[in-house]
Amino acid sequence: MNDLAPRFRATDDALSALGMSAIATLYLDRCQVDTPHPLVQKVWDVVNEMRVGFEKVVDFGSGDARFAKYGRYESYVGYEIDPLRCSLNDLPGHAEIVNACAFSEDIHDADLCIGNPPYVRNQDLPEGWRQSAAATVARRTGVKISGLANAWQYFFLLSLASTHDQGLVALVIPFEWVSRPSSKALRDYINSNGWGVNVYRLQDKTFDRVLTTSAITVIDKAVRGGVWRYHRENKDGSFSRMRSPTGGKHKLLSYDCPAGAPLVAKRGLSPGTQEYLTLTEGERARCGLMIGTDVVPCVTSLRLITDDWVGLDEVVFRREFVDAGRKCWLVRTDRVPSVRLQRYLDSVPPEGHLTSTCMQRDTWWQFTMPTPPALLMATGYRTRPKVMTNDVGASAVGGVCGIYNTSQLQAKQIADALRRVDYAGRVVSHSNGLNKLEINQINALLASLAKE
């Protein structure tokens, strides 16, 4: 150890890696989530159970470098692209903060890569940064990262590439990485190297702003054999072993759907901004928009619909969505907007469409209109997902997916069958007691039901 003051090294064009200023601002707004100090200490506690004392520690996406305040090490280097987040307050003298993109320098000799990489959805990643980071990951690991990968996967792979062959990687990332298809290339890379994996699922209240179940994931390159172990955080802060990532004895619901299956589930439309491109009845009426001409029925959530309603007909739609003041009208974009609709779209403030999806379009509100499905199904649930026949012809939006290629009679039978599936312990936890089905899992279920 030394008594030198903590060091700060700046790169003049650090933020230029993010490209356009509006998208850069969006990215920075999404990723700046502070890690609670008790969790930082807990990560170090988990690390210290495997190793005590490190020569070189690296933290990609370090924020205010709070991971430098704990643990025993000879040197700590934290990379932070946002100069406003870089801080030298109360840091030990053997710490250095580099104001630069984490992917701008090649490191190969870290004993430990630690931290909480950015939680940013793939839709909100600046395109230039995404391409550059993906190229770096491919060059250093051989992994071609999925276009659906969120920001933390890029940082995870960078950390794996930056530690030596006896090193550790300890990161706070979404627990769902252990099963989601978008993380398959990452899991395959780890398995191909036979590294030891320990995943510690945290309690859902760990982060207030992040709608996902978080986990401390530790990859130990010194342990060979490819053993994966899962742990659950108890109320007292201790961890206990889990027999599987779902915490139950049943197998995870399959993601494998055969090609050419007759029934098809598709994701709900992501219009770019539900705030302005979906409307309540009050918003529609105030703007004078005409049903059928300017807007069409849509469903953005089934959360408040009780299980005893199995069909979305005109009566239920009117009572539970229109009269209840929920988002129930989708702006129609498959025809030239009427004067009324164009006036409404022009009235949306510029900050109202500063989303990555809207900013990537030639016309911010122009999306391809979805076809109304035969069935509406919630992808998120607590006990079992809600399924309704779509008798009103509403478009599926957001967390409501659509099921297609079925007759009205078959739709009722499929809905009944999906409600009878035993989902308990077969899906990885998403957040706050909420489970989430992937589209591929729903399609695999539909394929098995079609055989029956």
Domain positions in the chain are 7-242, 264-451
pLDDT in tens, 160-199: 999 999 999 999 999 989 988 889 999 999 999 999 999 9
pLDDT in tens, 70-120: 999 999 999 988 877 777 667 888 899 888 889 989 999 999 999 999 888
Higher pLDDT, 432 or 139: 139
Q: What is the pLDDT of residue 27?
A: 46
Q: What is the pLDDT of residue 197?
A: 97
pLDDT higher than threshold 60 for residue 267: yes
Higher pLDDT, 212 or 106: 106
First to last CA, the chain: 67
Q: What is the pLDDT of residue 348?
A: 96
Average confidence (pLDDT) over 317-342? 96
DSSP string, 205-223: GG-SS--S-EEEEEEEEEE
Closest CA to 115 of 154, 173, 161, 30: 173
Residue 389: alpha-carbon gap to chain centroid: 28
Side chain identity, residue 136: T
Tokens found for residue 188: 């395959």
Average confidence (pLDDT) over 31-42? 82
Side chain identity, residue 390: N
Q: What is the pLDDT of residue 251?
A: 75
Q: What is the DSSP letter of 83?
A: T
User: What residue has token string 């302005």?
Assistant: 276
Higher pLDDT, 167 or 408: 167
Closest CA to 295 of 305, 303, 284, 304: 284
Q: What is the pLDDT of residue 122?
A: 74
Higher pLDDT, 449 or 323: 323
Average confidence (pLDDT) over 209-230? 86
For the chain, give the mean pLDDT. Answer: 87
Average confidence (pLDDT) over 19-42? 66
- State how far the Cα of 232 lies from the Cα of 249, in Å rounded to an integer: 15
Query: If pLDDT is split at 50, 70 and 90, which confidence band does 398 have?
Result: very high
For 170, the enclosing helix (H) or strand (E) is strand 163-174
Query: If pLDDT is split at 50, 70 and 90, which confidence band does 1 have?
Result: very low
Closest CA to 431 of 209, 154, 254, 125: 209
- H helices present in 319-382, as ranges: 339-347, 356-359
Weakest mean pLDDT among 16-20, 281-285, 296-300, 375-379: 16-20
Tokens found for residue 268: 């709900």
Average confidence (pLDDT) over 370-387? 92
pLDDT higher than threshold 50 for residue 69: yes
Q: What is the pLDDT of residue 384?
A: 87
Collapsed DSSP state (helix, strand, coil) of residue 182: helix
Residue 122: alpha-carbon gap to chain centroid: 8
- State how far the Cα of 68 lies from the Cα of 421, in Å rounded to an integer: 48
- State how far the Cα of 119 lies from the Cα of 268, in Å rounded to an integer: 22
Bridge partner list, 173: 215
pLDDT higher than threshold 60 for residue 272: yes
Give the rounded percent of residues in the chain with a pLDDT score beyond 90.
Answer: 58
User: What residue has token string 């370090």?
Assistant: 62
pLDDT higher than threshold 70 for residue 14: no
For 380, the enclosing helix (H) or strand (E) is strand 380-381
Side chain identity, residue 231: H
Q: What is the pLDDT of residue 240?
A: 93
Cα torsion 312, 318, 320, 326: sign: positive
Tokens found for residue 26: 């969006």
Q: What is the pLDDT of residue 57?
A: 97
Q: What is the pLDDT of residue 422?
A: 85
In which region does residue 114 sit, left (phi positive, over 0), alpha (psi from -120 to 50) or beta (all else)?
A: beta
Q: What is the pLDDT of residue 266?
A: 95
Is domain 7-242 annotated with CATH 3.40.50.1820? no
